[in-house]
A and B are shown apart, each in its own frame.
Chain A
């Protein structure tokens, strides 16, 4: 595939890795914001190619992972209703809500009719459908006028334009049976939250390339200046990550803290202005809770007043519902880069991809799942079998 496979070239990757080794004179901790980047790093073993001084911390760039548990519960409640077709991206299907079968509220959960995740709601007979695009959900609404169609609008800034367009089209077509359950989060506030934390150890960032395709990267300039951290807008293929890491390490070694763009083939400085304008029409910035991290002011999107009728929380009367975050799961620390998954005592034992405790173990590019799937049996990992690190 053109513009994809070339960026997986082994020889070029080795050369980049060698260059990074050549310039790195001290330990550095760099965080990649985006779960898709985490996925690539672990899938291709990029951290294995890097010199030992470079530590990659995996950030909260997984909108699946950071969706607050009560929003999952709200989704489950809505999806379990008989007249509802609940549409979602595949990523959300196995994220656990607050009621797992073995918790104390099992009876409450059973009697309220919703299972521990959307997949089990589907198994119990709920009409839960995976869609590739929010426009598919709009089509389903048009084809099923007697049912309520709810779309789980999860994502970072990259997905907001698509979700916005779905609502716009629903309004244009006068659809009364379409609504969205919003869980949109924004990257810059999350970066600030990480950088301003007393336990922060991140010294440089690889910013999420596709978020920046939409938003541009001017928002990062004040962050880089205020916290004196280099920020490199980076793509998702192995060579993108290696070049991004190189550019970041170079700045760190030289004591610079600027915003630069590695992913120039897909990102312009101003981003996609048309998409930004549209998102601003349909959504407004709100405070949001991040699972495992807590509340961050002005870090999310909610529907603007003109489109408030499409808000599923209001339509289904679940706005006031709250749920407790599981205090035992350390996903917050993991998503802030303060801990690695292997340092969680539940990891690989009581928390695995078959029975996850928190979202980072469920989402295929949550840090825990990525580690678990690709690492678990590696020599050197916390649950290693066999010896020797190659």
Chain B
């Protein structure tokens, strides 16, 4: 469950709990609430669920999956540092 999709913030209006953004999902633009993502800025990618941005997409981390794979291929195996 929890269908949430990353979209690009095109513009922002309003304040506090009424703060909203126009977000583009592959060219489809929808108005999304930023009530829970006060740090979001125009140009950011936000993960959106039922019309609410719930988390900011970390574009650096987005590459991690591919770097991990590359390292795996190079080393044959990779130890993962556990988070305590």
Interface residues of A (CB under 8 A from B): 1-4, 6-7, 12, 15-16, 19, 22-23, 34-36, 61-64, 89, 132-136, 155-156, 158-159, 161-162, 165, 168-169, 208-211, 213-214, 236, 239-240, 243, 246-247, 250-251, 256, 258-262, 264-269, 272, 274-275, 278, 365
Contacts and interface: CB of A to CB of B under 8 A. Distances in A.
Listed from nearest, the 3 A-B pairs whose CB atoms lie closest are A133-B51, A258-B82, A210-B2
A162 to B, nearest CB: 5
Interface string B1-20: 11111101000000001000
Contact of B49 (A6, A159, A239): A159
B64 A162 contact: no
**B interface majority secondary structure:** mixed
B65 A239 contact: yes
A4 B6 contact: yes
B6 A3 contact: yes
Interface in B27-82: 33, 35-38, 45, 47, 49-52, 54-55, 57-59, 61-62, 64-66, 68-69, 72-73, 76-78, 80, 82
16 contacts: A19-B73, A22-B76, A34-B2, A159-B49, A168-B17, A210-B49, A213-B47, A213-B54, A214-B54, A243-B68, A251-B80, A259-B83, A264-B61, A265-B58, A265-B62, A278-B36
Contacts of B6: 1-4, 266
- Chain B interface size band reads 35 or more
Contacts of B47: 210, 213, 266
B73 A266 contact: no
Given A1-B25, A269-B83, A36 B52 contact: no
Contacts of B82: 256, 258-260
Contacts of A243: 65, 68-69
Given A1-B26, A165-B33, A36 B2 contact: yes
Q: Which among B50, B61, B77, B80 has the highest number of chain A CB atoms within 10 Å?
A: B50
A366 to B, nearest CB: 10
A268 B26 contact: no
Contacts of B49: 158-159, 162, 210
Given A210-B49, A264-B61, A274-B36, A161 B1 contact: no
A36 B8 contact: no
